[in-house]
Every structure is written in C-alpha cells, then in structure tokens.
Amino acid sequence: MQTHHQIVIIGAGTAGIMVAAQLMRKNSNLDIAIIDPSEKHYYQPAWTLVGAGTYDLQKTIRSTESLIPAGVKWIKDPVTGLQPDDNTVSTQHSGTISYDYLVVAPGLVNDLSLIEGLQEAVDQGVVCSNYIDPEYTWKCLQEFKGGTALFTQPATPIKCGGAPQKIMYLAADYLRKQGLDSRSKIIFATPGAVIFGVKPIAATLTQVLNRYHIDFKPAHTPVKIDAANRIAYFRNNIQGVEGTEAIRFDLLHLAPPQTAPKFVKESILVNEAGWLDVDINSLQHKRYGNIFGIGDVAALPTAKTGAAIRKQAPVVVDNLLKLIKGLAADNKSYEGYSSCPLVTGYGKMVLAEFNYKNEFTPDPKMKMMLIADSSKEHWRLWILKKYILPYLYWNKMMKGEDV
C-alpha cells in the first residue's frame, strides 16, 4: 500500500500541530497528512507546576483528534523509517507514504540507559522526574521529611533546559513553607559551568540560589545511580581537575538523558550528534531541500522549548509555501529565539527570553503586562505561566493563530 500527500508532517505535538494549523490558515486547499500514533497531546510546560502540586495533570492532556486541524488527514501510526531519496516514509501499519514536502517534528525521547542504574532507580521509585511522571514528583516532595534533596540533569541536550531548576526552586519554597528547610540540604549538581547562559537571568538566579541556601555544583555530570544505597555518582571537573563525587540523597529529582527518536537517529538526515541536520535560520534540511525539521528533534543551538517553536513555525510555513510556488526557501529569519519561564517559588517567576547569541531579548508585550524588567522575579509572570500561557496555547497557538 502506498499513499501520497503533498505535505507530510511527522508528529502531532506542539510543532506538528502548529505548522499544520498555520498552513491550513494560509491555504485550506493544501493536501496535508500528520502521522502520529499517540491519541493524547500533552502541554508539557505545565508539568513543572504539576510536580509542585499546583496544577492538575489532566488539564495538560487533550485528545490528538481534537487538535488535528479540519481538512488535515491524521494517520494514527508510528513512523518507522525515512527514505529521503525516494521521498517516502515507512510506517508500522499503514505502509509507505510518499510526499512532495516533509516536516519532521517527532520531538525527542528519554534514554535512561545512558546513566548506569537509572532505569532500575526509576522502576523502584527512588528517583522522581517531571520529565517522566510529574505527579510522582509531587508525591515524593510531600513524603520528604528532611535530609538531602538532590537535583540534577544530564550532559545531553534536554527539553526546556531550565525545567530541572524550576522544580528545585518550587521544592525549596515548599520545604520552607512546611518548616523543613532547617532540616534539609538542597544540592543542584549540573554539567553546566554557570547557573544560566543569559547574564541578567544568571544574576537573578544567583540571588535565588542564595535565598534558598542551595549548594550549586557546576561541572557535575551524573553517571551512575545506586538505588539500593541512594547514592548518585558524578563525573566532575573542579578547577580543571577531573574527578568523581558520590552524593547520598534522600530525594533525587533527575532530568533523564534525551536523544532524537530511534527512526530519526538511524536515518541519513541527522548530524554527528544524532539530531536533524537543518539550517539554523531557515529550518530547511541541509541536504534535502524538500524536508524541514522543527521543534525538539532539530539540531539547533538554542533551548528546546514550545516557545522556540512559536517562532520557528512561521518560518517553516513561509518557506514551504514559497517552495510550493516554485520560489526559493529564502526565509532565514529564525534567530534562535527561545524562552524559559523560570518559576522561582510559588507565585514568582523570571522570564528568560534569548537568541542564538544568548542575548536577553524580552518581548515588548511584557510592558503591556506592566512588567518593566522580566529578568527580575515578578508575580505577574507567575500569572502568565499558570493561566495565560496555557490559554494561549490551546486557544491560539494550536489553532495556528499568531500570538
């Protein structure tokens, strides 16, 4: 069986739906198919709040069916292979599907095997992670009665690089509210050299670390978890000297290592690091002009977030429509915009917005929200995170509207 569609989109997540919805708004005669096996679509940015007991997980889930734009065909199947020389993709049950243009947007996957003992530790409930089960994080936090609370992240790229810190600040605030702060030691061990790559944000976060008395350990990469003894092992580099460090914990929140999905990694479309090899400004594949990559799967030197996709999607859509008209895909206007809503406590947030150069690039709309400086903590930013952004996501972005 072989079917053909003018545009095939792999993935009905944030990126796939946004691209499909924007394309249909521009031209409802396009023949578009989205391939995705998942019946559910997740608004993952709110998982940070779920992990801190201040958001209902069910509100982050909608059926994929409800989001597929009218006129777009949904093929409910996993893609198993990519054959860019034949302009086809293989699926598990629906055979081969050919295309004129392909948008690759299957997100990324957690790969627990990259840290020794991590899978067992997760299976035994010794580790919690907002990336795996945010409701379990909240359970662990409520059951924690003092001791060492360890927060860490891997050396691979991860979704929303700030998320491992956000849950730590919320946990610190929670422990303070419970009167457990004097009996607790909070450690943030991370492979990075600094708390955040954007200077004004780093300045605020340093104050936040001090406020909660968090022991910040840069250049620490988690390499092994000993679940039975509740010890995490790190490879570290202190003042140029390589070493290892074992940290015993009572609570461990860990962002797992993350990679492109297997069918992407095994294809000829990836770079050496295994991510989709696209032009960083046009999102067009570097070797196959009729293929675009967007979202978490793409090899872009910026933070992997839904906010980044909001700025990537119009570029992909514009370039696709240009190609369809026989013009060059010359829209190279994506400058690496991404943003990270760094929740720093219940009711407080800092909004890191930046580009490929790690320059702080706040949206002028912040002024309309009466926020003079979004690099500083503000309660209005918390309102943005908890109420306004989810509303905009479901009602505007998923419908292809400009926000």
Ligand X SMILES: Cc1cc2nc3c(=O)[nH]c(=O)nc-3n(C[C@H](O)[C@H](O)[C@H](O)COP(=O)(O)OP(=O)(O)OC[C@H]3O[C@@H](n4cnc5c(N)ncnc54)[C@H](O)[C@@H]3O)c2cc1C
Which residues are known to be catalytic? 160, 340
Q: What is the spatial distance between Cα 375 and Cα 370, in angstroms, rounded to a whole number?
A: 13
Residue 283 engages ligand X in binding (rule: CB under 6 A): no
Q: Of 117-125, 246-254, 292-300, 371-379, which segment contacts ligand X by CB under 6 A?
A: 292-300
Closer to ligand X by Cβ: residue 153 or 184: 153
Among the listed ranges 102-110, 214-222, 314-322, 361-369, the one in contact with ligand X (CB under 6 A) is 102-110
Using CB under 6 A as the binding criterion, the count of chain residues that bind ligand X stands at 36
Tokens of 326: 């026989």
Tokens standing for residue 12: 């009905």
Pair 210, 195: CB distance under 8 Å = no
Residues 301-360 that bind ligand X (CB under 6 A): 304-307, 309, 341
Residue 104's region, left for phi above 0, alpha for psi from -120 to 50, else beta, is beta
296 binds ligand X (CB under 6 A): yes
Name every residue whose Cβ is closer than 8 Å to that of residue 305 and which is 6 or more positions away in sequence. Answer: 45, 159, 160, 338, 339, 340
Q: Minimum Å distance from CB 179 to ligand X?
A: 28
Partners of residue 350 on adjacent β-strands: 342
Give the residue, chosen from 8, 9, 10, 171, that forms a contact with ligand X under the rule CB under 6 A: 10
80's enclosing H/E stretch is strand 79-83
Q: Which is nearer to ligand X, 189 or 298 (CB)?
A: 298
Q: Which of residues 127-166 bind ligand X (CB under 6 A)?
A: 130-131, 159-160, 163
Q: Which is nearer to ligand X, 158 or 219 (CB)?
A: 158
Contact stretch for ligand X (CB under 6 A) within 141-149, 199-207, 299-307, 374-382: 299-307
Q: Residue 11 interacts with ligand X (CB under 6 A)?
A: yes
Residue whose CB is less far from ligand X, 103 or 186? 103
Q: Is 263 in the site for ligand X (CB under 6 A)?
A: yes
% helix / strand / coil in the chain, to the nearest 5? 30, 30, 40
The Cα–Cα gap between 275 and 201 comes to 28
**Interface residues for ligand X in 211-250 (CB under 6 A)?**
none
Taking the C-alpha atoms of residue 193 and residue 217, their distance in angstroms, rounded to an integer, is 9
Q: Interface with ligand X by CB under 6 A: which range of 199-207, 242-250, 289-297, 371-379?
A: 289-297
284 scored as a contact of ligand X (CB under 6 A) = no
Q: For residues 71-98, b (16+ Cβ closer than 10 Å) or e, as one string?
A: ebebbbbbbeebebeebbbbbeebeebe
Stretch of residues binding ligand X (CB under 6 A), selected from 37-45, 65-73, 168-176, 364-372: 37-45
Binding residue (CB under 6 A) for ligand X from 7, 8, 9, 16: 16
In our burial notation (b when 16+ CB lie closer than 10 A, e otherwise), range 123-147 reads eeebbbbbbbbbebbbebbeebebe
In the chain the first and final C-alpha atoms are separated, in Å, by 40
Q: Shortest Cβ contact with ligand X: which residue? A: 13
Q: How far is the CB of 90 from ligand X (least distance, A)?
A: 10
List residues near ligand X by CB under 6 A.
10-16, 35-38, 44-45, 47-48, 78-79, 105-107, 130-131, 159-160, 163, 261, 263, 295-297, 304-307, 309, 341
